[in-house]
Structure 1
């Protein structure tokens, strides 16, 4: 059972740890998680490396149950922001709160426990090449302390099935996996401790269109079934449109706007026009449901096959 905020989801298991009902069937009739209280609060954040200023007076709030996508050009500081939220880097100034706690002032033990409430999928999967699939997924559980062998096996096998991989893959080494399978194993490891907050760094990067669509569907199912709050970093416009509750646009060292994608695309700013209203952006935006598509600016509705410039 996973309990996160106001969402409680039960996934029945057999004694073997496998799901009696596939996750897709469990999730398809579930509503989206209820948007709740802030779980991440970034206030007046500045970050510099020597003379290079990455963030300056940046503000961002992410609420429980959301999927917030961080978008921006190369060098806009998306990954740097995530690293600061996770406590891997310290801000030059400003504050970051996670679950209501200022992460720069909590003691190391409290910080360790807080990290167990988060999961992270790295861009290339970041699997340990010398460990099997089973041991890669089991690693975060083992780091918490001794867990009975049978229970650990049930946990790992359940997470494998939740991400759509048969348990027979548990004994494989990462080198024997396809790109899509590596992403799924990385996701299984990211959710093995049943986190409340999930960070995804370019989850569809390097995948073919079919595998990319499958990963997007999987993220959506996990979001519903586990009541997750998700922070997504991606250049994949289709994934952004399909998944995002809100989009946070990073430019000029700050968050220009954090809003539903149809509202963000309406902001009159050079980067936003270039990013959302170019050919690829229009094609992605025009996949929105009709009620949301009706809120797009007229320029976003121009034929996606035409190299149209809205300025």
Structure 2
């Protein structure tokens, strides 16, 4: 199991090997090249267990008897229509909101019953990338990334610098950007800095809220590739909220579809697309959905329902 070191970072078996690092702790080769021969993380035990979850705001019921497991090593994409409660579910998982009823366990512990100190330590095992980066505008790139480490306690300045610069390199940004302010960054760079901050404590669980939103196609592809690389390099479990169908297809181990106040299906995307449900047909079998699904590898594409294989320019009549 991963443990916190005295630096506030977490050592993992899948952290880049010493051969991939220089004596100063920086990367000798780009991370993507350093880990391209590593196997994907093995799927393990559930680290998030949501059982019979109901969430109400007054008379408005957002979730009702919702169930979901997320296992170690997975990339699970949560999809659903606007207002379906994707972000609300994540806020409850993070302990930012309490369910009306039901239970949520993280790393085997019920988050509603643990004491504040245990909750604080559990948060160090989770990294979060917010939709718009949520960088502190008054802090430099360096200080934004360093902030989670500083919150854990005193860390020698030289060691802190090595940690921050290594994380910058891991997300593909030269160290010269460390002194810049967030206002001087492009949208893609903001996402990368946000990712560097999210992984600075080497968490086991990474939650990404619309990581490609607002990016041009090239930057979006680069962020998708970066997420895949970090998943492999750090052995991460990833929860992804996105409307980006291409990112969903490229990254997901499973897709959890929220509709009708519950999770309709949580399965590989080629299986989820075949579920007989009006929302799923509209979401996966429309022109954009079919275009994304047809990018799957041949062995997975063969498992798609016949309607998903129609040319993307052909309309599909609702059942």
TM-score normalised by length of structure 2: 0.95
Q: Partner of 1:300: helix, strand, or coil?
A: helix
Deviation of 1:9 after TM superposition, in Å, equals: 3.4
| Alignment partners' CA distance in 1, 2:23 and 2:158 | 10
The answer as to 2:43 corresponding to 1:14 is: no
RMSD of aligned alpha carbons: 1.1
Q: Deviations over 1:22-67 (max 9, x none)?
A: 1011121111100000000000000000000000000000000000
1:39 maps to what in 2? 47
The answer as to 2:61 corresponding to 1:57 is: no
TM-score normalised by length of structure 1: 0.97
Q: Partner of 2:104: helix, strand, or coil?
A: strand
Deviation of 1:248 after TM superposition, in Å, equals: 0.1
Deviation of 1:2 after TM superposition, in Å, equals: 6.0
The answer as to 2:172 corresponding to 1:148 is: no
| Alignment partners' CA distance in 1, 2:261 and 2:203 | 30
Deviation of 1:21 after TM superposition, in Å, equals: 2.1
Q: Mean alpha-carbon deviation: is it higher for 300-309 or for 224-233?
A: 300-309
Q: Partner of 2:221: helix, strand, or coil?
A: helix
| Alignment partners' CA distance in 2, 1:11 and 1:127 | 30
2:107 maps to what in 1? 99
Q: Deviations over 1:131-166 (max 9, x none)?
A: 000000000000000000000000000000000000
Say if 1:36 and 1:63, in contact at 8 Å, map to a contact too: yes
The answer as to 2:189 corresponding to 1:215 is: no
5+ unaligned residues in a row in structure 1: which ranges? none
| Alignment partners' CA distance in 1, 2:17 and 2:133 | 26
The answer as to 2:24 corresponding to 1:28 is: no
Say if 2:10 and 2:201, in contact at 8 Å, map to a contact too: no
Q: Deviations over 1:216-273 (max 9, x none)?
A: 0000000001000000000000000000000000000000000000000000000000
List 4+ stretches of structure 1 deviating above 6 A.
none
| Alignment partners' CA distance in 1, 2:315 and 2:93 | 38
Q: Partner of 1:140: helix, strand, or coil?
A: helix
